[in-house]
Amino acid sequence: MNFGFNEEQELLRNTARKFFENECGSDTVRRLMDTPEGISPELWKKLAEQGWLGLIYPDQYDGMGLGLVDLVVLMEEMGRAVAPGPYFSTVLLGGLAVLEAGGEGQKKEWLPKIAAGDKRVALAWMEPSAQLGPAGVTLTAVEKGGRYTLSGTKLFVHDAHTADALVVAARTRPGAGADGVSLFLLPKGTKGLEVTLLPTMDQTRKLCEVTCADVTVGADALLGAAGTGWAPLSRVLDRATVALCAEMCGGAQKVLDMTVEYAKIRQAFGRPIGSYQGVKHRAADMLVDVENSKSITYYAAWALDEGSPEAPLAVSMAKAYVSDAFRRVAAAGIQLHGGIGFTWEHDLHLYFKRAKGSEFTFGDATHHRERVAQLVNL
Amino acid sequence: MDFTLTPEQTSFRDEVRAWLSRNMQKDWVARLGQGSDIPRPEAYEMLRRWQREMYEAGFVGLTWPKEAGGRGLTFMEEMILQQEMALAKAPPVLNILAIGMAGPTIIAYGTDEQKKRYPPQMLSCEEIWCQGYSEPNAGSDLASLATRAEKDGEHYVINGQKVWTSLAHVADWMMLLARTDPSAPKHKGITYFLLDMKSPGVTVKPLKQLTGDAEFNEVYFDNVRVHESQILGGLNNGWAVGLTTLMYERLALGFGLQVRLRIALDGLVDLARGTKKNGVPVTQDPVMRQKLAQLWIDTEVFKYTGARAITKLLKGELPGPEASAGKMMWVEGHQRVQELAMEIQGPFNQLTHGSEWAVADGLWQHTFLRSRANSIEGGTTEIQRNIIGERVLGLPKG
């Protein structure tokens, strides 16, 4: 057994940390989060040059062919930098959906372009009901003469406004079952496809509403066969969930680091506040939250890479744990900083808001605890 | 990153599993029933036999060097053993203070004579050890201990008192910290002795706990004479030696704690499945499902955080202050398991052993009460948080 990272992974961590310190410091994050795009073409190109946009795609699609455990390292560093931009939505949602569900031609068309930084693909799956699971997919795709007409609304779609194409989960058979879910790949500008950018609490994460008003496309827009979309979609969501957990771990670690540094230098009543147990003990609790979050996230990534039958359970354990832990850590960070922690000037609020948004992305702790209960046959 | 076992580790696991299935104590399993643990005082004799059997099968002291009677294996095998014991709901090792603390400390600091004399008897449970650290005025602030050891020829004369001494009433030997130089700064004048509990002048008075049991004791020393050859690790070096013991304590207990939490959780799930609330099993209640699932998650998280610590150990790093986090997690998890067991039982939680209405013969009532000690024994949760804050995070001392 070896529950640690190898040399290449440690090297990736060092490279990534330096990269984001240099290219995506707090000033850059603040500048980019104020733009509608949330990313600059230069930064996106640099991410591509590192090979990170194709990190988990196979070689034949110009990817690096690495696994989720490797990705976890990169995501932790992105989370540490509270990096904005469509990395998550393109590489882990849209691109991964093409990889998991698409035919060979679709993969060859899109994945090398994503890896090169030339194209972006978003994933539109959740709807205003905010219901997880196949029953939540109610946007209809009605077939007639080999063509499909899509009607309905998607919500909480990451970076749809800057994507070159959208993967849309639609219902091709009435009812609530998984066998009625199909995935369509719709290029930007498709007639009837409308994207609206929504104001978000976490400005580093751009969310959109996507409406399909009688969008009519050919069967070649399907990713995989009609009615087979749920299985690849849930594989994508499981992977993206673990990647999100890793990003949250990185953010939580950064909050802890900032808080410990501050507690060492900030004086009150003639001594550093970190010498008071009221502060010290809460910092210790933060450490436990951070370390545990990493443990279960790493395990879930490994289980997915190995195709372990326990992988879905591991994913839900991770999301349940990390959702609560990052929220606690981010809140404690603000509290232990006192007034300065409540200012716009200090970076803590970026992490606090990221924690809250991430908590409810791909299901909150309550949802995943129930999934754990089901998976262990409670 | 790799969780798979090597062929050698797999065969070790199979060996453990096969042995446990043949030798499992059926009366223990039957008595455990739907509970999570069994009061120690009712099981000392059985546990002594059990450890002896495990020792003869080669399953005690796996990580100890062969010359000390161990098997010279790694922490990986220790973890495999503990996991298999958890799966089988096996009884714990009784002489845990010897196996987990006194033994490794003697192996690290002992003279050749001491290393030959003590470890084998620890493994076989022929000699039980207790830990003479805490005193009425030196608990968390251990270095304030006042028990004196005054030189008299080749002997030291011990006077003073220890308290909260688990197993002292059945112990043959004690790890004793006593003050040999009252004029030195408080950390510098302490010596670590190996004390024969049958020495004249040693008086053990069991302390009745709030559970009604007496697991721990007061120990009085009235002019107890100890030969200087019984010093471990040198005169006035007791603080360093004692801290080594505590480091091993958290490590050794860390392995065992994971097992105990898993067994307790499994007992809790069985209890929930077998209990109806408003006519349906408790496991169908959405609020209870949330609480049970969270405990399940926390127990698994504890396992993987432990696995990361073991990875460090296997790479040759010493156990560090991170072990304090493991102790805290176990305490928190176990106390919640016990609280939830009470909640599941509802008004029946008021009934104990002796009532036919009592759930699982009142075992949960005992473990619930006993769990309050978890956050005090082996270093209070407050002390663990200090250790994490100061030694892991580098925050200044108060």
pLDDT higher than 90, residue B58: yes
Of A264, A275, A284, the CB nearest to B388: A284
Give per-residue pLDDT as tens, B168-208: 999 999 999 999 999 999 999 999 999 999 999 999 999 99
Identify whether residues A216 and A277 lie together within a single domain.
no
Q: Which of chain B's residues have a Cβ under 8 Å away from the Cβ of A287? A: 325, 388, 392-393
Q: Which of chain A's residues have a Cβ under 8 Å away from the Cβ of B4? A: 1
Q: What is the CATH number of the domain that holds A252?
A: 1.20.140.10
Q: How much is the average pLDDT of A163-174?
A: 97
Return residue ranges of chain B for CATH 1.20.140.10: 241-392
* Strands A165-171, A121-124: pairing kind: parallel
CATH fold of B129-236 reads Butyryl-CoA Dehydrogenase, subunit A; domain 2 (2.40.110)
Q: How much is the average pLDDT of A31-48?
A: 97
Give per-residue pLDDT as tens, A198-216: 999 999 999 999 999 999 9
Chain A from 271 to 300: CB within 8 A of any B CB: 271-272, 274-277, 279-281, 283-285, 287-288, 291-292, 294-296, 298-299
Give per-residue pLDDT as tens, A240-299: 999 999 999 999 999 999 999 999 999 999 999 999 999 999 999 999 999 999 999 999
Split at pLDDT 50, 70, 90, the class of B35 is confident
Please tell me the predicted confidence (pLDDT) of residue A317: 98
Identify whether residues A247 and A324 lie together within a single domain.
yes
Give per-residue pLDDT as tens, A114-123: 999 999 999 9
Identify whether residues A237 and A346 lie together within a single domain.
yes
Report how many domains make up chain A. 3
| Encoded amino acid at A93, one letter | L
Identify whether residues A238 and A348 lie together within a single domain.
yes
Among residues of chain B, what percentage have pLDDT more than 70? Answer: 97
Identify whether residues A151 and A280 lie together within a single domain.
no
CB-based contact B396 A291, cutoff 8 Å: no
Return residue ranges of chain B for CATH 2.40.110.10: 129-236
Q: Which of chain B's residues have a Cβ under 8 Å away from the Cβ of A301? A: 1
Q: Which residue shows structure tokens 């068309």?
A: A109
Task: Return the residue of B nearest to A256 by Cα.
Answer: B393
- Asked if B75 contacts B67 with a C-beta cutoff of 8 angstroms, the reply is no
Looking at B78, B150, B249, B382, which residue is catalytic? Answer: B249
Q: What is the CATH number of the domain that holds A145?
A: 2.40.110.10
Domain stop point among A226, A259, A291:
A226
Of A256, A275, A287, the CB nearest to B396: A275
Residue B192, phi-psi category: left (phi > 0), alpha (psi -120 to 50), beta (remainder): beta
Identify whether residues A65 and A151 lie together within a single domain.
no
pLDDT higher than 80, residue B278: yes
Give the burial class of A58: count Cβ atoms within 10 A of its Cβ; 0-12 exposed, 13-18 middle, 19 or more buried: middle
Domain stop point among A226, A257, A284:
A226
A268 Cβ under 8 Å from any chain B Cβ: no
B360: its two tokens = 């699982």
Domain assignment of residue A11, yes or no: yes
Q: Which residue shows structure tokens 């076989």?
A: B124
Calculate the average pLDDT of chain B: 92
Task: Return the residue of A nearest to B306 by Cα.
Answer: A295
Identify whether residues A207 and A264 lie together within a single domain.
no
Please tell me the predicted confidence (pLDDT) of residue B247: 72
CB-based contact B389 A271, cutoff 8 Å: no
Question: Of the given ranges (A43-57, B73-87, B327-341), which has the lowest mean pLDDT?
Answer: B73-87
Domain assignment of residue A2, yes or no: no
> Which of A147-160 are b and which e, b meaning 16 or more Cβ less than 10 Å from the residue's Cβ?
ebbbbbbbbbbbbb
Q: Which of chain A's residues have a Cβ under 8 Å away from the Cβ of B328? A: 284, 288
Q: Which residue shows structure tokens 């209890």?
A: B271
Please tell me the predicted confidence (pLDDT) of residue B4: 84
Interior angle at CA A329, CA A324 and CA A331, nearest 5: 95
Q: Which secondary structure element, helix H or strand E, spans residue A72, and what is its range?
A: helix A68-80
| Encoded amino acid at A378, one letter | L
CB atoms within 10 A of CB A22: 10
Identify whether residues A313 and A350 lie together within a single domain.
yes
Report how far apart, in Å, the C-alpha atoms of A306 and of each of A101, B1, B2, B144 are. 20, 11, 9, 53
Split at pLDDT 50, 70, 90, the class of B253 is low
Report the CATH superfamily, name and number, of domain B241-392: Butyryl-CoA Dehydrogenase, subunit A, domain 3 (1.20.140.10)
Identify whether residues A268 and A366 lie together within a single domain.
yes
Identify whether residues A35 and A49 lie together within a single domain.
yes
| Encoded amino acid at B189, one letter | G
CB-based contact B297 A317, cutoff 8 Å: yes
Task: Return the residue of A nearest to B289 by Cα.
Answer: A373
Calculate the average pLDDT of chain A: 97
Return residue ranges of chain B for CATH 1.10.540.10: 7-104
Q: Give me the phi and psi of B63, to 5 degrees please.
A: -90, -5
Chain A nearest C-alpha distance from B234 (Å): 34
- Tell whether domain B7-104 is in CATH 3.30.930.10: no
| Encoded amino acid at B104, one letter | P
Chain B nearest C-alpha distance from A264 (Å): 6
Identify whether residues A235 and A221 lie together within a single domain.
no
pLDDT higher than 70, residue B398: yes
ipTM for the whole complex:
0.95
Identify whether residues A133 and A155 lie together within a single domain.
yes
* Per-state percent for chain B, helix, strand, coil, to nearest 5: 55, 15, 30
Q: What is the CATH number of the domain that holds A82?
A: 1.10.540.10
Domain that holds residue A249: 231-375
Decide if B249 is catalytic.
Answer: yes
> In 3D, which of B141, B136, B143 has the Cα closest to residue B382?
B141
A373 Cβ under 8 Å from any chain B Cβ: yes
